[in-house]
Structure 1
């Protein structure tokens, strides 16, 4: 069964993320009972669901559509696809979608610029972000255990000072670099920063340029990294990056649309259970979806994407949306997003007043309803 409809927008910016699709062999009836429980739905709802082409947070949506699980749950989905979060959020001006799966760029631009509402989270988004140095560098020779963020991070303040770092400017990769440097008591002014996107930085570093390179995607696990030293990563530096579910404020205010969103999220989390039990088949879906979005990846690359970033359980999402942050009077989920927002404010992407604009855009009601049904 094919995806009903993908409204593809040709955009200039491309996200470096995993991709997916597939040819599952589970029957529609057995899949339906696994994902939604037995019994035919009493009513069919309709929902415009937005995603990012080739993103791992849209994989469960793709799989559930291919398996027919949304239809079995009484939900008809129209896919509205984009290549990056900010442009995805611009489409809210025309009410192009009801609920979206997006990364931190979409979350911040959607909540601050379009009054979108954060209604949950799907997965971590820092598993493939890495910093590499050469084995014979001062940083590598300094070893681990000198960083207050993590004992795993390699180097010390003296070895990092003056290092030439290749990194994409004003992005979550620079956020990883800043978190790493902060753990040594350093700021961005301690290194010589050379702005390069991740593919260019990778090629330049392998060609001998720079002392360190901040990378993302499958290149972080390529064979050519075996002779380099991984000194930091998104996981080690605890960047807290995640992908979220964001709702159109008008849609979540509509009773029928909100019910449709609840069904969507219920099937989504049940699909994650299936993926955990069927990893190999999930990677094939990843490959197929990537090809459908115009990209070609191998099964090995798909395995990297699906294993390095963690899909959250419903319990984990519930906790993040209710546990208080230790950094302010807001939840753990809001705290992680505000940390990233403050980074972007420091580098001119947002204004100081935008923190106040962001606050108050978390709605726990959908996750609460699903959690209470467990």
Structure 2
């Protein structure tokens, strides 16, 4: 299986380098002779990719006319850069980076991948100044550790542009600091735990399962804060976004991709054991120090949507649950200077949701299962 991951990575990188993401002639043939449209997918090496990986292994994308090529990236910024350059057709990011891509180069939400709020946590060593300075320095969030003096000049391990980055920025802002007051080291998510455990950095922020070992070792590490603690009403999700060229030239393939993802999600939602099994398989693939128990624990953070839930989430246009959630994201980004007043004034979340493709995919999936 690891050899297969390497093969997919190598092939997808070759395709990206020759610019296949811009062509409407990306076709291949399946084993039964049917025509497939190639989609280049930029993915993070995180637990949220389990659904796409499972659907790929089950052949669901081929079932719906898609030859999916996956490229794994080490940061949200690099994914957005590849999308902006037209090197990929679709990609996965958290809500904030997805919103940045939507407003800067016109990508649209194609799939709800997983809830992502509770997944991001900040940890520090127990002997660090951030922990020894105690809690209560932020009146609104008294459980967060660290005074302004303790945070200032600290070294933070994060993945630039992902939700953990914004979590740290929010803490710093509430302490009267900025990112210029700390030293940040941008790392791939699955590199952060080993670096932090080896003594690098004063504080780290990462998504599950990359903080599991620190949560399990309270003698040496303490959770400083979590994204859901800071923003309990903030509907941060892992998304799959479609790039403008694919939206124009590969709509049928995008619909097929959405069908494959939602079919897999529905199976996971209705079979906990299947979800746990494949979370373990997937995390083993990308070299996370995983056990069956830890994989099962991670599944609790990523509740999968059923087809019925997805319809309720996406239906309603500007009044949909999805559009309202992304309006809250935009409000938050504007409040912390991650979206300008000018962009926010023009922002309409429904303009960046491919709900016509999504709802058509749901119609076909429901018809298949009736």
TM range (shorter): 0.5 to 0.7
Deviation at 1:117, TM superposition (A): 1.7
Equivalent-residue separation in structure 2 for 1:366 and 1:279 (angstroms):
26
* Conserved? CA contact 1:127–1:234, under 8 Å: yes
TM-score (norm 1): 0.65
Structure 1 residues 253-300: Cα deviation after superposition (integer angstroms, max 9, x where no partner) = 34xx3233222212212212333421342034213531xxxx454335
Equivalent-residue separation in structure 1 for 2:354 and 2:120 (angstroms):
29
Residue 115 of structure 1 is aligned with which of 78, 91, 106? 106
SS at match of 1:189: coil
SS at match of 2:259: helix
SS at match of 1:240: coil
**Aligned pair in 2 of structure 1 residues 362, 305: CA closer, same or farther (>3 Å)?**
same
Higher relative contact order (CA 8 A, sep 6+): 1
SS at match of 2:143: coil
SS at match of 1:308: coil
Equivalent-residue separation in structure 2 for 1:57 and 1:204 (angstroms):
22
**Aligned pair in 2 of structure 1 residues 251, 232: CA closer, same or farther (>3 Å)?**
same
Residue 273 of structure 1 is aligned with which of 259, 266, 276? 266
- Map of 2:26 onto structure 1: none
TM-score (norm 2): 0.66
**Aligned pair in 2 of structure 1 residues 9, 131: CA closer, same or farther (>3 Å)?**
same
Structure 1 residues 147-200: Cα deviation after superposition (integer angstroms, max 9, x where no partner) = 657xxx6159xx745442653587533532455578xxx443399953333777
Residue 167 of structure 1 is aligned with which of 152, 156, 164? 156
Equivalent-residue separation in structure 2 for 1:209 and 1:86 (angstroms):
21
- Map of 1:154 onto structure 2: 143
Q: Provide the aligned length of Structure 1 versus Structure 2.
A: 318
Unaligned 5+ residue runs, structure 1?
Answer: 11-40
* 1:282 and 2:271 are equivalent in the alignment: no
* Conserved? CA contact 2:47–2:283, under 8 Å: no
* Conserved? CA contact 1:162–1:192, under 8 Å: no
Equivalent-residue separation in structure 2 for 1:247 and 1:174 (angstroms):
23
Deviation at 1:43, TM superposition (A): 6.8
Equivalent-residue separation in structure 1 for 2:71 and 2:34 (angstroms):
26
* Conserved? CA contact 2:42–2:88, under 8 Å: no
* 1:77 and 2:67 are equivalent in the alignment: yes
**Aligned pair in 2 of structure 1 residues 208, 68: CA closer, same or farther (>3 Å)?**
closer
SS at match of 1:216: strand
**Aligned pair in 2 of structure 1 residues 47, 8: CA closer, same or farther (>3 Å)?**
closer
SS at match of 1:188: coil
* 1:250 and 2:256 are equivalent in the alignment: no
Residue 188 of structure 1 is aligned with which of 148, 159, 176? 176
- Map of 2:205 onto structure 1: 215
**Aligned pair in 2 of structure 1 residues 59, 252: CA closer, same or farther (>3 Å)?**
same
Deviation at 1:233, TM superposition (A): 1.0
* 1:333 and 2:325 are equivalent in the alignment: yes
- Map of 1:25 onto structure 2: none
* Conserved? CA contact 1:85–1:105, under 8 Å: no
Equivalent-residue separation in structure 2 for 1:214 and 1:54 (angstroms):
17
Unaligned 5+ residue runs, structure 2?
Answer: 15-31
Question: As a proportion of its length, which structure holds more helix?
Answer: 2
Deviation at 1:68, TM superposition (A): 2.0
**Aligned pair in 2 of structure 1 residues 187, 271: CA closer, same or farther (>3 Å)?**
same
Deviation at 1:122, TM superposition (A): 0.8
CA RMSD of aligned residues (A): 4.5
